[in-house]
Structures are given as C-alpha cells and as structure tokens.
Structure 1
Amino acid sequence: MENAPSAEPTDQPARAAAKPAPPKSEWRDLATFLVKLALIVFVVRSFIFSPFSIPSESMLPRLLIGDYLFITKWNYGYSKHSLPWSLPLIPGRILPGTPARGDVVVFKAPPGNDTDWIKRVIGLPGDTVQMQNGQLVLNGKPVPKQAVANFVLPITPNFQRCQPQFEQVDAKGNPICSIPRFRETLPNGKQYDVLDQGMLPKDNTGVYTVPAGHAFMMGDNRDNSMDSRFSHEEGGIEFVPLENVEGKAIVNFWSTDGSANWLLPWTWFTAARWSRIGEGF
C-alpha cells in the first residue's frame, strides 16, 4: 500500500489578521448631531419662521398675555435683526420689502434695538399720523371708527389689571372685564379692533410725519400701549426703522391663561385657551 502524499509546504505567507474597526465615539456622534440641529434651528428661525410670546396687554383685543404665535421672516427682507441676538452678519437689508398698513409685526424696539416688541403698522414712509379725540387721522383723513360689542375678558392670572369702571361678573359669578371696543378700517380696507378706555393725553397728539425707511407703530389697546406716539424719553419707540422689523405675525399656536402649574400636568390643559389656537391674522 502506498503512503498518501504528505501536504506540500506553502510558500505564501500567512494572511495578516484583519484590523479591528476603530471604536465609535458616542460623544463625538452626539456633538455632531447637536451641531447639525443647532444649525438647522438657526437657519429656520433666521430665515423662515420663529415663535414669539406675548408679554403685555398692548395688543388687546387681538393678542392676550399668554398667547404664543409664529412670525414669518421673509415678508420684509432680512437684516441683522433677523438673526438670533441680532448677530451682525447681514449688512443693511437684503431682499427688502415694506409692510402694509395694518400688518402686525415683531421688531427690535428703538432706541436700544435689543428687545422684541409687537405692534400694528399704521404709518409708512411719507405718511402723516395724528390722534384727535381718540380717533386716528391718517394723511389728513379720519380713519373710520365704529363701536362694536364690548371686549369681555375673564380675570385670570394673566389679566388682573381691569379698570374699576369696567369690572363686572358673568352669569356664573366669575369676575370679568368689559372694555369698550371699536373697529377701525384703514384706507387699504384692512379692519381690526381697538380698545378705548377713555380720553387720555395721547388721544390728542401733534402731527407725526414718517421719515423714509421707517414705520409708525401703534398698539391696538390704545390707552395701554407705549408706541410711536411716545418719545424715547417717555419710554416710547418713536419711528421704527424698517431694518428693525423681524417678521409678520401669522397664527397663534398656543394660548394659556396663566393658571397652569408645571408640577400638575393636567392643569396645562385646563389653563389652555383652546379657541385661540390656530387663530390667524
């Protein structure tokens, strides 16, 4: 019997062991994700839309303290004030546009240009604006002002400063505030409601002439709004540069009466003013 041939020795070197894949860094992946997310948020808030909350009563009856709304950023062009913290990355204005009379806009309030305010555009460059006995006069012509049903607002943690003469109770015995309301109609057909609580100093003013590149802003709560009728020394904003305008208010996405307790989740729903969610401008 012949012996089986023995295996011949090979001349090929042994294959090198496969190199292990470098370990993944979870922290690095997380940091990369957060940077990408921050960049997306920065672009969206700067150039598309941004949220804004209402901190004061100056835009009653349209906006209540505790309303949250979205503003669109492309309507009037872009400036450094379109960016978070007004980062000086955009010189002047690009793709500039002019608001329409009656638009509700968010802007950086002069003279500091560091605080977001919201008001209604009343006067554009070249317009004259005046108040006479509580009536708005635009370019020498009184703006029609028609009395409508009183504005009724429940007394809640977000609204407690009702003037005594307007305090009432509803059918259930709950305290409410009932304030005289009027409807104004601008020359372009834009209608909106304003509140007039009586004759106060800024219900009669001189004539304001809006300079080029600026707008005249007013709050709808005419007797409780520091706006373009007031000088900087009085705490007002005077004429607002169009460069300061950040965007146009478009829709309420949330509203709360201020009675929620963060530690009691069910109160988040009882405090919500559901009828105001989705209300447009």
Structure 2
Amino acid sequence: MSQPATVTGALRQSFDWTGVSGRAVYATAFAAQILCLGAALIFAPTLPVMWVIVAVATFVFLGQMRRRMRDAGWRGGWMWVAMVPYLGFIPQLILLFRRSAGTPRRGENTTLRKVGWAVALAFCLLLAGRSSFYAPFWIPTGSMAPTLVHNDYLFSGSRFVTVARGDVVVFRHPVNGTDFVKRVIGLGGDTVQMVAGRVVLNGTTLPQTPAADFAETMERQGAYGTYPRCRNAPVALGETCLKTAAVETLPSGRSYTVLDIRPERTDDTEVVTVPDGHMFVLGDNRDNSADSRMPQAAGGIGTVPLENVKGRVRRVVFSLDGDPTRLFRRVP
C-alpha cells in the first residue's frame, strides 16, 4: 500500500491494521512519539495538553507498528510483547532494521529510518542513565528562593558524588519518599543549631552580610497555587512582596543568599548532632521551608541519610515561566 505523505494520512492508516508500512514511515512515527513524550515530561506541569498530544502520537505509533509488523512478516502476538514497558523497546528497535517480507523495497527512504533509530537510541540511553547519572526536577515551591524559584526546571547530577556543605541536592524524603531539594548545611558529626534565625555550625555562627531585598509579585505561585509571604504584609494582588536577603558564608568560604520574612518558631532550635552517614539540610528561603529544623516525629524532614541523595544541582536549565534570566543559571 502507498505510504502516507501527510499527518492526516498517517492518522487514517493507524486505523487500518490490515495494511503495511515501510521502515521510513514507522521510524517517523516512532521518533514523533518519543519527542512528544520528552516534551510532555518537561512542559506538562504548566501545559497539561501535552499529554493529549502524547496520546495521539502513541495511537499513531501503535497503528504504524502493527502495520510494520505485517510488512516484516511478524505474527500478531508480537504486538503484545512490543507493548511491555522497557522490554518492548527491543522489538520496536528491531523493526527499524527489519526488512520487508519477500522482496525488499527499493528506493526506501533510509534517512528517516536512521533518524528514528538515533532518537530511539538516545531515549533508551537517557532512560538507562536517569537514576544513576542524572534526574530531572521541577521546582514546585519557593522554599529555595532566591537560588531556585518556582517553575525552574533543572537536572541534578550523578548520585555518585561526595556531598559537601553548601551543595544544593535533590534527595528522597526519608519518611514519605517524595523528592525534595535543599542545601546541605551539616554532615555526619557536625552540630547544628538555629539561634535568632542564624545558623550555628559546630559552635560558630555563620556570618551573614546584608543584601538587597528580594522582590516578587504577589500572585499565586508554583504547583500548589499559594501566595508568597511578605515582610511588608499586607500586600495587594499584583503588588511587590519583599523579603530581607543576606549572603551567608560557610567556613569553607562558600556563599549563597538566604531570605528572612519575620521571627518564626524555627528561628530557634535545640542543638542537633548529625549522625554519621546523614546530612542536615535547610531551604534558602528560611521562613518558608520544611527542612531539618523540624524532626520527623513532628512532621519535618529531620536529618537525611546520604543514600537518599539523588543528585547535586549545578545549574538551572530553564524556567517554565519563560524567564530568560533563569536559562542555564549557575547554582551557588
């Protein structure tokens, strides 16, 4: 049968599983599905319609895959194997190279097939390395402002790193297993305490240098649609919300900006001795962060096992809000 020359042609053919499709058409459908899925993983938090696009692309691909199987002389049972998560990639990839049953097609467009193979291989490598070498993360709240703001999209680096004080890390919550991102303040053997909103690390108060106020617009933010808390409250919608900023410096000389709104009960805590193999973490937006200042028994994070670290954050990739100043922004 003739191959579709348009998207609508591919859609029509996807309803006809009795027909056949060559490698070029199949490779195009395969690459389109992978690219749509990748785009959805990035943009779906703010653009849910991406999942509708993924569903359409998947439907087209399944139809073209069944037609490709008929063209390659495969039995219908292979369709079920090809739909098994992860394992199904094996027959799907083989179909990119499998010749048509009987006389090989002549003049078939091999360029599209090669493109499809390259996209598939890259996607498989990303899946294989996701848990070990990188992990995508979307910032849903402002607990790490101004370092990371809501709707920042980033990749955390390999989990096979030595965590140091001052690192911003993505980790698994030790109780509920959800992903969090915070800054490491203390490691095994360290003592950490908050006194009047200042960090006391191993008996020494970390110095803070005043910085320009952090300003943001009073509006709903992040995944939960919450309003920011402001030092200059009350603030009307659309007006400027201010927080006091200061540059905090660790004994290693590493510096970063932290925020303060007003006195809170977490500004003063008991001394915590960090167990070996654990870390004490804080959000940079100190009055708007659930972190190690609250023990797990009180609903907080407490100290976190180092084995829960999923990766270290070095740069923001981009902002889902489209803010150009966030593009490849370095994380201090």
TM-score normalized by the length of structure 2:
0.61
Quote the Cα distance in structure 1 between the aligned partners of 2:195 and 2:73.
Answer: 69
1:11-90 equivalences in 2 (<5 Å): 23-24=71-72, 30=92, 32=94, 39-76=124-161
1:173-192 equivalences in 2 (<5 Å): 174-192=238-256
Q: What is the aligned counterpart of 2:209 among 146, 159, 165?
A: 146
Paired residue type of 1:64: V
Quote the Cα distance in structure 2 between the aligned partners of 1:273 and 1:25.
Answer: 51
Paired residue type of 1:166: N
Q: Report how far residue 158 of structure 1 moved.
A: 2.1
Bigger Cα Rg: 1
Quote the Cα distance in structure 2 between the aligned partners of 1:49 and 1:25.
Answer: 39
Aligned identity (percent) is 40
Change (3 A) 1:164 1:136: closer
Paired residue type of 1:239: T
Q: Report how far residue 174 of structure 1 moved.
A: 4.9
SS where residue 250 of structure 1 aligns?
A: strand
Which residue in the other structure is 1:89 paired with? none
2:238 paired with 1:166: no
Q: CA RMSD in A?
A: 2.7
Change (3 A) 1:210 1:279: same
Q: Report how far residue 154 of structure 1 moved.
A: 2.4
Q: What is the aligned counterpart of 1:209 among 262, 273, 285?
A: 273
Q: Report how far residue 230 of structure 1 moved.
A: 0.5
SS where residue 68 of structure 1 aligns?
A: strand
* Deviation digits for residues 51-85 of structure 1 (CA, Å, limit 9, x no counterpart): 10001121111111111011111442xxxxxxxxx
Which residue in the other structure is 2:173 paired with? 109
Quote the Cα distance in structure 1 between the aligned partners of 2:133 and 2:228.
Answer: 37
Give the 4+ runs in structure 1 shifted more than 6 A.
Answer: none
Contact 1:150/1:179 (<8 A) preserved: yes
Paired residue type of 1:240: V
Which residue in the other structure is 1:124 paired with? 187
Q: Report how far residue 49 of structure 1 moved.
A: 1.8
Identify the structure with the greater helix proportion.
2
Quote the Cα distance in structure 2 between the aligned partners of 1:37 and 1:216.
Answer: 37
Paired residue type of 1:139: N
Which residue in the other structure is 1:85 paired with? none
Identify the structure with the greater strand proportion.
1
User: Does 1 or 2 have the higher relative contact order (CA < 8 Å, sep 6+)?
Assistant: 1
Quote the Cα distance in structure 2 between the aligned partners of 1:164 and 1:100.
Answer: 31
Which residue in the other structure is 2:200 paired with? 137
Q: Report how far residue 40 of structure 1 moved.
A: 1.9
- Unaligned runs of 5+ residues in structure 1 are 1-21, 77-96, 258-271
* Deviation digits for residues 76-120 of structure 1 (CA, Å, limit 9, x no counterpart): 2xxxxxxxxxxxxxxxxxxxx3x11000000001113x2100000
SS where residue 72 of structure 2 aligns?
A: coil
Quote the Cα distance in structure 1 between the aligned partners of 2:155 and 2:213.
Answer: 27
TM-score normalized by the length of structure 1:
0.71
Q: Tell me whether 174-183 or 210-219 shows the greater mean CA deviation.
A: 174-183
Quote the Cα distance in structure 2 between the aligned partners of 1:124 and 1:186.
Answer: 13
